[in-house]
Chain A
């Protein structure tokens, strides 16, 4: 069986195997065609990374604003929460007349989805900073800005990283739908040959792998950034 498969894969390209003709799951086909997935994969990585980066900058800024002016927390959660509930397909279609087809539309919608997650986590992280550490810091003469950057944000890092992990995983999944807005990525690749099992399984698998890898990567960075967490007995 194995030998037969290898023999098939070595056959000239114009000769299509029965497996492929039947839209089956054909490892040999994947081995021969994996380079076609390289650029959709990189595009997927790019869209996800840019989404999370922009989403983080906006949500982080909003969280700092809400940290200073507590009354803003409610309205921000309300607005980002409303954005979060819009079905992604609807968002893509609603944005089409404004931003047209392409990456921009996808990014606008995708960023909107990350805001609630990241804002919530940064805010929770800042709220969970031990009150006595804040009191001691003030009593020692740290200014509000020093307090924020030297005490509050470092201590909020575990929650902030947790937010980033959820946002990244969610985004990688949603980017698979971005082809509906005319953007690239693995979703476009899936849609192009949606009945071909080899294509769907491989492109989908890459999505899952990417999500898992990004989760591990962020977790690794968190470990490095918060050495005190492991020190606690």
Chain B
């Protein structure tokens, strides 16, 4: 930052390279011509480095709320604080230069090269030519574009996905502590959208910005959000929660409907196999005394014993004949499939179970050793039990009894 000639302290991007905290404090937007506010006493706070998704049906005021942050829309009542300071005390142009801004239509300048597009705000801030050029290359690489091939092109010469990346790079140009993104992937086809979302999340792990992300797509919200603010008509906050909380405990009928009837499946997409209580199998080895084996089976959650090798790796499910003699014999009724990994997404594991040989899936750790068994009942129990987790321990005990 030292070589950056800053004319006044106000022009300098405060906290550049860091993330800012953002707080809506009873923020309200009332248009003079309308009776009902577009955004109604919205209060929520976003910790530094987190993605807050504003989601809701059209007309819920999500975009208005976002645009109030950089004063593209003026706040009628209440306040919005950026790192504890009211945005109302700032000159709009200076404020906006420290806040990254990416919109659905991207809005690249058709008459400027990609390099000049990305360098727009650095140039406004008086960066030197060399520094801008280096930053442009750095940003193009960050968004997975080849600087040599891209920088001198015009926006019309790029594909939609490439333009979208340039839009994100341009929003990141001066390393702003806060980014506003209005349906940034809305105009991209579903396949590329998925890829761009993944890239965006990878990017966010690197840059750790505070991001306000507007979308009407609840699946996108659940995928990218650390916190989700569901807005309903009239700019009222219906719920502000993490994706998992939102799916588990919708605060109202509206949120429940908005989240969708398949919210159970959506929840499975948020959980890993290691996060839930698995069944304990009877792990038997060839040559083990049958009496001991029977004791293990009695103690296990799975009715069928699992044959494992010396390293606890699953070999298959044993038949009744395997236990007919003195010692356990290798007589399998079915192979140990599907084998599920601890780190698998629960939804993927469910798909494996539904298409696999058996409906029991041995769960293995990184070394391949069995840690438990996943079954449809386990998943079903998880989905049903989860809402009760928030109840008191006493209630849980009563239910089990």
Which residues of A are interface residues toward B (Cβ below 8 A)? 130-143, 146, 150-151, 154-155, 157, 226, 228, 231-233
Contact = CB atoms under 8 A, between A and B. Distances in A.
A140 B96 contact: yes
B29 interface: no
B154 A146 contact: no
B124 interface: yes
Given A138-B72, A139-B180, A232 B111 contact: no
A228 B105 contact: no
B154 A130 contact: no
B124 A130 contact: no
A135 B157 contact: no
B121 A141 contact: yes
Contact of A132 (B105, B121, B170): B105
A-B pairs, top 7 by smallest CB distance, nearest first, are A136-B107, A141-B96, A141-B97, A132-B105, A139-B101, A232-B156, A132-B107
Contacts of B103: 132, 135-136, 139
A141 B171 CA distance: 11
Contact of B72 (A139, A154, A155, A157): A139
Contacts of A140: 96-97, 101, 120-121, 124, 170
Given A139-B72, A141-B95, A143-B93, A130 B107 contact: yes
B254 interface: no
Contacts of A150: 120
Given A134-B107, A157-B111, 20 more contacts: A130-B107, A132-B103, A132-B107, A133-B108, A135-B103, A135-B105, A136-B101, A136-B106, A136-B107, A136-B108, A138-B72, A138-B96, A140-B96, A141-B92, A141-B95, A141-B96, A155-B110, A228-B110, A232-B110, A232-B157
B70 interface: yes
A interface majority secondary structure = helix
A132 B111 contact: no
Interface string B152-174: 01101100000000010010000
Contacts of B108: 133, 136
B154 A228 contact: yes
B109 interface: yes
Interface in B94-130: 94-97, 101, 103, 105-112, 120-121, 124
Contact of A228 (B72, B92, B106, B156): B156
Nearest to B94: A141
A193 B393 CA distance: 113
Contacts of B153: 231
B132 to A, nearest CB: 14
Contacts of A232: 110, 154, 156-157
A232 B108 CA distance: 14
A130 B110 contact: yes
Q: Which of B110, B153, B154 has the most CB of A within 10 A?
A: B110
A134 B93 CA distance: 14
B154 A151 contact: no
Interface in B251-266: none
Contacts of B70: 139
A231 B113 CA distance: 10
Nearest to A138: B72
A136 B111 CA distance: 14
Contacts of B180: 139
B124 A231 contact: no
A134 B106 CA distance: 11
Contacts of A154: 111
B124 A133 contact: no
Contacts of B105: 130-132, 135
Contacts of A133: 107-110
Nearest to B112: A228
Contacts of B157: 231-233
A138 B95 CA distance: 11
A154 B93 CA distance: 21
Contacts of A231: 153-154, 156-157
Interface string B350-367: 000000000000000000
A34 B106 CA distance: 59
Nearest to B98: A141
A77 to B, nearest CB: 27
Contacts of B110: 130, 133, 155, 228, 232
A232 B158 CA distance: 9
Contacts of A146: 124
B157 to A, nearest CB: 6
A133 B101 CA distance: 12
14 contacts: A130-B107, A132-B105, A133-B107, A137-B107, A138-B96, A139-B96, A140-B120, A141-B94, A141-B121, A142-B124, A143-B93, A155-B110, A157-B111, A231-B154
Contacts of B95: 141
B156 A233 contact: yes
A116 to B, nearest CB: 27
B257 to A, nearest CB: 32
A157 B107 CA distance: 18
Contacts of B101: 136, 139-140
A151 B123 CA distance: 14
Q: Which of B72, B93, B157, B170 has the most CB of A within 10 A?
A: B93
A139 B70 CA distance: 7
A140 B96 CA distance: 5
Nearest to A153: B111
A126 to B, nearest CB: 14
Contacts of B72: 135, 138-139
Contact of A137 (B94, B106, B109, B154): B109
A55 to B, nearest CB: 25
B3 to A, nearest CB: 21
